[in-house]
Structure 1
Amino acid sequence: MSANRTVTLETIDQGQVTVSEPGWCEGHAGEPPVYRSDITHNGRHVRAGAATEGHGYVDFMNAYISHAPYGEAQPEPYPVVSLHLDLDLDVTPDDGVKLARGLRVAAARIERVVAEAERLRGGGRP
């Protein structure tokens, strides 16, 4: 993983706790207190979409590296890719072509985020 630093966070159940924060984490400024088990490190968000004539700009993909090292219900021993996709439209053929191009861009961006997550996990998938 990237070089770690520490950050002190206010938690609901354990007060202030100092935890290791990966170098790729975007930080926790402005986050409300959470349970220690809900502390999540999130990387830079990567988005994709397409400009259409019928619907304007359609933002349909958001991906980022995420790690919840203290999770109890679903522990994440290694960083994962958090991926959100949303596209449900009726479009003209021209807009369909534009969306298809945007989806190809989204696929390439997802592959880059996945490659970075694999690198952070040590190159393997446990």
Structure 2
Amino acid sequence: MPDHDNASRTVTVPTSDHGPVTVWEPDWCTGSDGEHQPGGYRVDITHASRDYEFTASTSRGTPVVLRACFEQRPFAEHPPGHVPFMNVEMDGDWHPHSSNDLRRLSESLTAHADRLRDLADRLDGLTNAFNATRRPTPGAATPRRGRDG
């Protein structure tokens, strides 16, 4: 189990390859055992924040469209490396993002929102056309009922 020292914001994690490793812990880190897995490798030590969930209101509830969290891997040997980044979950997989990557994602989501508005306008046209074919035409003869009807 990791040993937390809240006064100095450090955490000591027992690792299998470097013994106990003490690292500075960012204030946004949740400090869960999932991030500071005892007995793992030093390179696997990860700081992660709580998840930020982005939802959308639908006719069947409010599902999570995407999820994001701050993350840092202080001993990582490959990008995104030692600096904090935003990990974004989409389509069941996590994708590391820099601040510029997040801005590009935001622009992409804005474009998707514009496209959805265009589709809503098209749906209005389709719905109106459908409803127009179901209305009786003014002045058209109304079918007569028989004696029993």
| Amino acid across the alignment from 2:45 | I
Is the strand fraction higher in 1 or 2? 1
| Amino acid across the alignment from 2:70 | I
Aligned counterpart in structure 1 of residue 42 of structure 2, from 32, 36, 39? 36
TM norm structure 2? 0.48
Tell me which structure has the larger Cα radius of gyration: 2
Please show how residues 86-101 of structure 1 align to structure 2 within 5 Å.
86=91
Q: CA deviation at 1:84?
A: 1.3
Cα distance in 2, alignment partners of residues 32 and 58 from structure 1: 34
**Off by >3 Å, runs of 4+ in structure 1:** 29-33
| Deviation digits for residues 63-97 of structure 1 (CA, Å, limit 9, x no counterpart) | 1111111011335232111111239xxxxx9xx87
| Amino acid across the alignment from 1:28 | S
Q: Structure 1 regions of 5+ residues with no counterpart?
A: 88-92, 98-126
Cα distance in 1, alignment partners of residues 11 and 26 from structure 2: 10
TM norm structure 1? 0.56
| Amino acid across the alignment from 2:40 | V
Cα distance in 2, alignment partners of residues 49 and 74 from structure 1: 29
- 1:13 maps onto 2:47 in alignment: no
- 1:67 maps onto 2:63 in alignment: no
Checking the alignment, whether the CA contact within 8 Å between 1:49 and 1:58 is kept in structure 2 is: yes
Checking the alignment, whether the CA contact within 8 Å between 1:24 and 1:43 is kept in structure 2 is: yes
Q: Once superposed, what is the RMSD of the aligned Cα atoms?
A: 2.9
Greater relative contact order, per chain length (Cα 8 Å cut-off, separation 6+): 1
C-alpha distance 36-59 of structure 1, shift in aligned 2 (>3 A): same
| Amino acid across the alignment from 1:69 | P
Size of the aligned set, in residue pairs, is: 87
% identity of equivalent residues: 39
| Amino acid across the alignment from 2:78 | A
- 1:82 maps onto 2:87 in alignment: yes
Q: CA deviation at 1:58?
A: 1.9
Cα distance in 1, alignment partners of residues 8 and 50 from structure 2: 16
